[in-house]
Amino acid sequence: MKFKRLTGSSLIEVMLAAAIVSIAVIGGISYRYYSSLDARRANIHATTARVALMLCESWGGTNGSLAYDPVAHLDSDLLTITADDGQAAPAGFTTLSSHKLIVSDITCYATLSFRDVDTNLRALNVRVAWQRRDQSDKELSDMDSVFELNNYVCW
């Protein structure tokens, strides 16, 4: 009598395969979640840096005028600027104005300050603060990241 060998999978093999597949799926899902979260943070960082550059260049275009008002110069459908509180100016700088800016769904706060370095040389400083964690409160006290940009103008 010849014995036929039974083929198939045991319950242990099936459970082990299911565990391996579920670990791979969970790993892929968490990778996608963290990569999209990092992409959102990078977008916020890049947007606030562009806002700081735009403010600094726009103010520099007026030769660092102390009558510069970004609300009058830059307010548009894509960017909403309102006068608001801002962070303190760096040491040695005098605050010109502070503003709350909303670009798409990103809220940030900008402080414009200046310092006369020489007779015809003025240092312009733009400090933009934003919130890295995504929460509903968008108050100045919730901002935890700062981007600072300096520009020098002669007249």
**Residue 5 falls inside a structural domain:** no
Expressed as residue numbers, the domain containing 73 is 11-154
**Model confidence over 37-75: pLDDT tens digits?**
999 889 989 999 999 999 999 999 999 999 999 988 887
Residue 146 confidence (pLDDT): 86
Contact 84, 140 (CB under 8 A): yes
**Residue 39 falls inside a structural domain:** yes
Residue 75 confidence (pLDDT): 74
Is the confidence at residue 32, as pLDDT, over 80?
Answer: yes
Report the number of distinct structural domains present in the chain. 1
**Residue 62 falls inside a structural domain:** yes
Residue 72 confidence (pLDDT): 86
- Secondary-structure percent of the chain, ordered helix, strand, coil, rounded to 5: 40, 30, 30
pTM for this structure?
A: 0.77
**Residue 93 falls inside a structural domain:** yes
Compute the mean pLDDT over every residue in the chain, rounded to the nearest whole number.
Answer: 88
Instruction: Report which DSSP code applies to 63.
Output: T
